[in-house]
Chains A and B, each alone.
Chain A
Amino acid sequence: MEAAEITRTVDAKGLSCPMPIVRTAQTMKVVGSGALVEVLATDPGSVKDFVAWCRSTGNELIDQSSDGVVYRFVIRRK
């Protein structure tokens, strides 16, 4: 994923449930349709939560990775 394509990054590192999802939802409201949003989180529960969130909201989870500490999600806005 090219960094240049990312419209906005949500830094949710250190935040507990449900704030990574809440911050991401708030960010999605201010970016345009099709925008790529990168989320950085350290909450291990976010791996399942972002899958569920994308399924409910119709946003597309296009990439996710982990370096053992930080989880990174790339989501395309519906």
Chain B
Amino acid sequence: MTAMTATTLDRPIEQADSPTPLPVPDRPSEPEVKLKDILIINYSGDLEKVWATMILASTSAAMGVKTRVFVTFWGLQVFVRDDRRITGENWMQKMMSAMQRPGISHRKLSTMDFFGMGPWMMRKLAARYHVASPKELLEAAQEMGVEFIPCQMTMDMFGLKPEDMIDGMSEPAGAATVIGLMTEDSVPLFI
């Protein structure tokens, strides 16, 4: 038994009852549902919203749904490598990255941040209740084929270069790509 079992359980495993069968729903007789694609627009760089994006993207891919995440504005900062401290070419771009550290492991909460106290507690709680971190979920999502598409305009505005970004990102694209996908067969989510 690994160390991850005990804490979230109400009772230790030894005190379990004998197994009770749960009802298994009938298989739907109609032909299989044709799944639409999912398009998440990850606009925010806030910890809690990035978490939501990663949970939905990894679950969607796990359900066999073609999943794309368009990353733009503050949401693009999430996909800068964790070890990049200052990014950009001119002083304003550099100052922006200095004021808001990029990378998925350096996200702040939109409320209750309290100079990092809030995120610290969130990470502690997540570890205690075995909630996967945004970074773990991102890795699982990438492994399952989720496409992360950076916004070209935001990359230019923040002076981000392809080598600043994490591995496995798709080619940068623009708003027309997003609208094109939305009007075809993707369910859009704006986070």
Q: Which residue of B lies closest to A56 (CB)?
A: B63
Tell me the bound Cα distance from A47 to B181 in angstroms: 33
B59 contacts A21, C-beta separation under 8 Å: yes
Residues of A within 8 A of B (CB): 11, 13-19, 21-22, 24-26, 42, 47, 51-53, 55-58, 60-72
Tell me the bound Cα distance from A25 to B58 in angstroms: 10
Q: In the complex, how many angstroms separate the beta carbon of B111 from the nearest chain A beta carbon?
A: 22
Per-residue contact bits, chain B 50-76, to A (CB 8 Å; 1 contact, 0 not): 000001001101111100000000000
Per-residue contact bits, chain B 115-144, to A (CB 8 Å; 1 contact, 0 not): 000000000000001111000010010011
Find A14's partner among B9, B10, B16 (CB 8 Å cutoff). B9
Find B21's partner among A16, A53, A65 (CB 8 Å cutoff). A65
Q: In the complex, how many angstroms separate the beta carbon of B169 from the nearest chain A beta carbon?
A: 20
Tell me the bound Cα distance from A26 to B8 in angstroms: 23
Find A62's partner among B15, B24, B55, B140 (CB 8 Å cutoff). B24
Tell me the bound Cα distance from A38 to B108 in angstroms: 38
A15 contacts B10, C-beta separation under 8 Å: no
Q: Which residues of B contact A58 (CB under 8 A)?
A: 32, 64
Q: Which residues of A contact B4 (CB under 8 A)?
A: 13-15
Q: Which residue of A lies closest to B136 (CB)?
A: A19
